[in-house]
Chains A and B, each alone.
Chain A
Amino acid sequence: MAEQSPEVSAPAEHFELYIRKVRAEIEAEAKLRRMQDPEIEQQEAVIDRAWAAVAPPGATGPVESMLLGRVEQIAMVDVMVPVGHRPGVREVKRLIRKISYWYFAYIASQVNTFHNALGRYLRSLHARVEALEVAAGTASLDGLIDAVDEPSETVAAALANCVTTPVRAVVLSCGSGRTVEALQNVCSSVYGIEPDAGRLLPGVSRGLDLRVDDPLTHLDVLVPGTIDAVVLQGFIEDMKPDAIARLVEMLKERLAIGGALLVAACDPDRRDVVDRDIRLGYGIAPQTWAHLIDRLGGNATLLPVDDERISAVVVARFS
Chain B
Amino acid sequence: MPSEKAALQGQTVTFVSTRYGSSVLGGAEQAVRSYATRLAADGWNVRVLASCASSYVTWANDFDPGTTIEEGVQVSRFPTVRTRASNFDALSGRLFATSPPSLDDAYAWIDAQGPDSPELLEAVAAVDEGVLYFIPYLYQSTVRGLQRAGVPAVLQGAFHHELPLTLPIFDPMVERADGLSFGTRAEQQLAHQRFASASGKPQVVLGLPIEQDGPSDPVLARHELGLGDEPFVLCLGRIDAGKGVHDLVDRFSRFRERYGIGRLVLAGPVVDAPAHHPHVTVLGPVPSEVKFGLLAAADLLINPSPNESFSMVVLEAFLVDTPVLVNGRCLPLREHCENSNGGFFYEGVADFDAALRRLLSDAELRQRMGQAGRRYAETVFSWPAVRTRFEALFSRLP
Contact = CB atoms under 8 A, between A and B. Distances in A.
Nearest to A45: B348
A170 to B, nearest CB: 31
A60 B105 CA distance: 27
Interface string A9-37: 10010011001001101110111011001
A2 interface: yes
B338 to A, nearest CB: 10
Given A40-B349, A40-B350, A112 B199 contact: yes
A30 B351 contact: yes
Given A25-B358, A109-B200, A83 B385 contact: yes
A76 to B, nearest CB: 7
B199 A85 contact: no
Nearest to A73: B189
Nearest to A94: B7
A94 B6 CA distance: 11
List of 3 A-B pairs having minimum Cβ-Cβ separation, nearest first:
A85-B384, A116-B199, A30-B350
Contact of A90 (B4, B193, B368, B375): B4
B95 interface: no
A297 to B, nearest CB: 48
Contacts, number: 146
B396 interface: yes
A25 B350 CA distance: 12
Interface in B348-363: 348-351, 353-355, 357-358, 361-363
A100 to B, nearest CB: 12
Contacts of B368: 8-9, 15
Interface string A21-65: 011011101110110010010011001001100111111000000
Contacts of B4: 85, 87, 90
**Secondary structure at chain A's binding surface: helix, strand, loop or mixed?**
helix
Contacts of B379: 82-84
**Secondary structure at chain B's binding surface: helix, strand, loop or mixed?**
helix
Interface residues of A, number: 57
Contacts of B307: 55-56, 59
Interface stretch (B53-61, B120-128, B155-163, B226-234): B155-163
Contact of B355 (A26, A34, A84): A26
B200 A58 contact: no
A228 interface: no
Interface of A: 1-2, 4, 8-9, 12, 15-16, 19, 22-23, 25-27, 29-31, 33-34, 37, 40, 43-44, 47, 50-51, 54-59, 69, 72-73, 76, 78, 80, 82-85, 87, 90, 94, 97, 101, 105, 109, 112-113, 115-117, 119-120, 123
Contacts of A12: 372, 375
A56 B162 contact: yes
24 contacts: A1-B361, A2-B358, A2-B362, A4-B362, A4-B363, A8-B362, A8-B368, A12-B372, A15-B368, A16-B341, A19-B372, A40-B348, A43-B348, A55-B307, A59-B307, A72-B193, A76-B188, A76-B192, A83-B379, A85-B384, A94-B7, A113-B200, A116-B200, A123-B193
A40 B361 CA distance: 22
A87 B329 CA distance: 39
B247 A47 contact: yes
B195 to A, nearest CB: 10
With most chain B CB atoms within 10 A of its CB, the pick from A37, A47, A94 is A47
Contacts of B200: 109, 112-113, 116
A85 B382 contact: yes
Contacts of A54: 242, 306
A31 B306 CA distance: 23
Interface in B81-114: none
Contact of B392 (A8, A80, A115, A119): A80
A100 B382 CA distance: 23
A65 to B, nearest CB: 10
A58 B350 contact: no
Contact of B364 (A1, A4, A84, A87): A4
A4 B365 contact: yes
Given A9-B364, A22-B365, A51-B306, A101 B205 contact: no
A27 B350 CA distance: 9
Contacts of A1: 361
Contacts of A50: 247
B168 interface: no
A38 to B, nearest CB: 12
